[in-house]
Chains A and B, each alone.
Chain A
Amino acid sequence: MKSSRRKFLKTTAATAATFQIVPRHVIGGPGQTPPSETYGAALIGCGGRGPGTYGGMVRDLPTRLVASCDVDKGRAERFASKDPNAKVYTDFRRLLENPDVDLVAIATPPHWHALISIAAAEAGKDVLCEKPMTRFIREGRAVVEAFDRYKRVFQIGTFGRFGASRSNNSKLVHKIMRSGVLSPNPGVHIKKGGLKIHQWSGKPGLKPRTPPDTLDWDLYCGPSPYKPFDGPRVGGTHRGYWDYEGGGLCDMGQHHFDPMQWIHGKDDTSPVTIEAHSPPSHPDVTGMWAWVELIYADGFRFVMDSTEWGPRYSRKQEQRITPDLLTPKQLEKVNAMPDPEPLLTFAEAVKQRKKAGGHPEAAHRAACILHLANLAIRLGRKLNYDPDKEVFIGDEEANRFIDVPMRSPWHL
């Protein structure tokens, strides 16, 4: 017997008065939840991060594995083997047609995150998406719009902000920042190291090879340029290729800066000037950079100091936001503010049909920090950004990297 949560909710009224004898595994019992009260869960992208992302999605929810999907059929089959009834797909479009799927974990490389998330929302599914949320800025805005329109739940697959939101000190910093009493804001948060720039640098100039028989290479490339296959373009090392991700900065950056963004009250905006110290980047692969400085409209700064190449950042010292920076009157104003609302986990958001703590706008803004940093690294010039219109000011060529045309027939 297979029945989705949605069907269950729709048909409950019609069947409530009917007495039926049903087997124990259907009605549930100790340790067993009836399928009709579980969420049909699916994983798209069954490589290295897949099981972890799926695990994050189903935590604290009654679920059953309904389907798995990967452009490499072998991977999809291996993950689906956890449940004899799970279906295997190699094309996410077919998986999203399955009405038994309620929840989708997305752990493909990032060049697919936005399009699959949007398609899932259109199909009425809730989504937990691996970080980084997107490959370029316009994708993030499209995800925000889709989840707003369809009232689906979206959570980004990084959870540091939940811990931060429970800390009294972080809550106080959040309130100071949201109060706007510090103007100009002297805060400087410097992340030293931890962005894996050597580890996730790509390898240029490799000779093309024949893709494995089990891999649909054309669908893997998807909206990104179709390039000849070579090994490092798949299987985690994809991070080193601009076609799919943005190096260690994008891989680790959302972990580091997503919680900091919440703490510093920047979930609804982006930096206005961005500057980097870096050599010219290669067209295919991510590479070396020294530091990036991102300044918000109020003066607050995020700094990424790679510590892996070139000179260290020396323009400013770390300056934490503390009550010591406030006058007694300012502190009084901050203390009068209510605490921020608790952030809902994905499970809570799904059950309550409310916005998750790592909702699309916050996730998009965190991804923007990474994309803006990478664009400053690549473009080699100071960038002035309008965080409302989400475009660079007076730099038409830089804007070409904000809304990157996709390979046909894919588009936002």
Chain B
Amino acid sequence: MDIQPILDAFPLPSNRGILNEINKDATDKAIAQIIAEPAVAAKLLAGKLLDPDDEGSDVQARHAIHGTSIRIPNIDRNAQVIFSKTLADSLAEERPDRVKAFIIRQLQVCGGKEVVPAIGKFLTVEGLADDAGQALLAIGDSAEQFRKALPKTKGNISLRQVNLHGLAELGDKSSKDAFLKALADKDGECRLLALWGLVQVGDSKTVDAFLKAEQKEKGYARNKAAHLCLQFAEKLAKKDASKIYRHLQATRKEPSEKHLQDLATARL
């Protein structure tokens, strides 16, 4: 397969620096050619990607990969799996992080469960964990990857945030103990993510630990914690919810917290 004519179908920035000289027929045809040979094309296109600091331009390669990633699900499901699997396999190669980040972002658009393990490996890699986490959340069915990664992030706050975030967003019930443990994390954002995780899980048995932890937060985090209290209460049966509303009544007494007082009172 000669990839150059396919690349040439995509525009380079015009004198104005934008992509206004794009030809729909030519780009649609190029994408059809990529989809006709998804494995070969994905490998060749991925090979054209550059680190942004490198000499040269990969504007066309990025455009071709993204144009295919975003349109292939509606055109050919088998080709979609092959295309995304080939991109995922390229993540194992020695490439600059920012190239890998781009590939992960395209898998966020077109990848399915077949690429989840390959992306999951980056949940413990500084500089790529954020990209991997967001891609896995978009694809779904990925809690296991976050569960496996979290214990490996003890010494790194940002990696811990990524993995707690993932588990919380997915409402992973089997991470309840991990969330309870993270209520005592030295990082405030991790503590808030742990509170959120418990809300998402929605287990009434965790209410006491949740309330004990949330009242230690200050300032912005205190408001966020109050918000999580309300969200938690909305998920629980009346008796447990009332406990949370009474807690808010008892703890939110500053003049600036009157709206929270009023809200808790109204719901009791």
B38 interface contact, C-beta 8 A: no
Does the CB pair A379–B70 fall under 8 Å?
Answer: yes
Q: Which residue of B lies closest to A278 (CB)?
A: B24
Does the CB pair B165–A411 fall under 8 Å?
Answer: yes
Chain A residue total in the interface (Cβ 8 A): 58
Does the CB pair B18–A381 fall under 8 Å?
Answer: no
Does the CB pair A378–B70 fall under 8 Å?
Answer: yes
> What per-residue 1/0 map shows which CB atoms of B256-268 lie under 8 Å from chain A?
1111100100000
Q: List 30 A-B contacts (CB under 8 A).
A: A93-B220, A97-B220, A99-B255, A123-B220, A124-B257, A124-B258, A124-B259, A149-B263, A203-B13, A204-B13, A205-B57, A207-B52, A225-B130, A226-B130, A228-B52, A228-B98, A277-B24, A279-B23, A281-B67, A282-B66, A283-B62, A378-B70, A396-B73, A397-B74, A397-B110, A400-B109, A406-B134, A408-B158, A408-B161, A409-B165
Q: Which residue of B lies closest to A221 (CB)?
A: B130
> What per-residue 1/0 map shows which CB atoms of A139-157 lie under 8 Å from chain B?
0000000000111100000
Residues of chain B within 8 A of A204, CB atoms compared: 13, 19, 59, 62-63
A356 interface contact, C-beta 8 A: no
> What per-residue 1/0 map shows which CB atoms of B152-165 lie under 8 Å from chain A?
00000010011011
Does the CB pair B19–A285 fall under 8 Å?
Answer: yes
* Residue in B31, B133, B139, B256 whose beta carbon sits within 8 Å of that of A6 in the complex: B256
Q: How far apart are the CA atoms of A406 and B134 in the complex, in Å?
A: 7
Q: How far apart are the CA atoms of A7 and B254 in the complex, in Å?
A: 10
Does the CB pair B189–A409 fall under 8 Å?
Answer: yes
Does the CB pair B22–A123 fall under 8 Å?
Answer: no
Does the CB pair A119–B161 fall under 8 Å?
Answer: no
Q: Which of B39-47, B224-232, B239-247 contacts A (4 or more CB under 8 A)?
A: B224-232
Does the CB pair B31–A205 fall under 8 Å?
Answer: no
B192 interface contact, C-beta 8 A: yes
A122 interface contact, C-beta 8 A: yes
Does the CB pair A405–B138 fall under 8 Å?
Answer: yes
Q: How far apart are the CA atoms of A405 and B139 in the complex, in Å?
A: 10
Does the CB pair B134–A405 fall under 8 Å?
Answer: yes
B48 interface contact, C-beta 8 A: no
What DSSP secondary structure best describes chain A's contact surface? Answer: loop
Does the CB pair A208–B52 fall under 8 Å?
Answer: yes
Smallest CB separation, B198 vs chain A (Å): 14
* Residue in A97, A206, A280, A288 whose beta carbon sits within 8 Å of that of B31 in the complex: A280
Q: A280-B28, A397-B110 are in contact. Are A409 and B70 (CB under 8 A)?
A: no
Q: Which residue of B lies closest to A400 (CB)?
A: B138
Does the CB pair B67–A408 fall under 8 Å?
Answer: no
Does the CB pair A288–B258 fall under 8 Å?
Answer: no
Residues of chain B within 8 A of A124, CB atoms compared: 256-260
Residues of chain B within 8 A of A400, CB atoms compared: 108-109, 138-139
Does the CB pair A283–B102 fall under 8 Å?
Answer: yes
Which residue, of B18, B20, B63, has the highest number of chain A Cβ atoms within 10 A? B18
Residues of chain A within 8 A of B137, CB atoms compared: 405
B105 interface contact, C-beta 8 A: yes
B27 interface contact, C-beta 8 A: yes
A55 interface contact, C-beta 8 A: no
Q: Which residue of B lies closest to A407 (CB)?
A: B130
Which chain A residues (177-193) contact chain B, with CB distance < 8 Å? none
Residues of chain A within 8 A of B10, CB atoms compared: 280
Residues of chain A within 8 A of B168, CB atoms compared: 411
- A-B contacts besides A124-B259, A204-B59, A408-B165, 10 pairs, CB < 8 Å: A94-B219, A122-B226, A151-B259, A280-B63, A280-B68, A379-B70, A397-B70, A397-B73, A397-B109, A404-B134
Q: Which residue of A lies closest to B138 (CB)?
A: A400
Does the CB pair B66–A280 fall under 8 Å?
Answer: yes
Which residue, of B63, B189, B219, B257, has the highest number of chain A Cβ atoms within 10 A? B63
Does the CB pair A284–B220 fall under 8 Å?
Answer: no
Which residue, of A6, A207, A310, A408, has the highest number of chain B Cβ atoms within 10 A? A408
Residues of chain A within 8 A of B230, CB atoms compared: 149
Q: How far apart are the CA atoms of A411 and B10 in the complex, in Å?
A: 35
B235 interface contact, C-beta 8 A: no
Q: How far apart are the CA atoms of A207 and B62 in the complex, in Å?
A: 15
Which chain B residues (116-172) contact chain A, with CB distance < 8 Å? 130-131, 133-134, 137-139, 158, 161-162, 164-165, 168-169
Which residue, of B19, B193, B219, has the highest number of chain A Cβ atoms within 10 A? B19
Does the CB pair B227–A122 fall under 8 Å?
Answer: yes
* Residue in B108, B110, B130, B224 whose beta carbon sits within 8 Å of that of A122 in the complex: B224
Q: How far apart are the CA atoms of A204 and B224 in the complex, in Å?
A: 37
Smallest CB separation, B42 vs chain A (Å): 15
Residues of chain A within 8 A of B175, CB atoms compared: none
Q: Which residue of A lies closest to B139 (CB)?
A: A400
Q: How far apart are the CA atoms of A310 and B67 in the complex, in Å?
A: 18
B2 interface contact, C-beta 8 A: no
Q: Which residue of B lies closest to A93 (CB)?
A: B220
Which chain B residues (40-85) contact chain A, with CB distance < 8 Å? 52-53, 57-59, 62-63, 65-68, 70-71, 73-74
B223 interface contact, C-beta 8 A: yes
A158 interface contact, C-beta 8 A: no
Residues of chain A within 8 A of B139, CB atoms compared: 400
> What per-residue 1/0 map shows which CB atoms of A112-145 lie under 8 Å from chain B?
0000000100111000000000000000000000
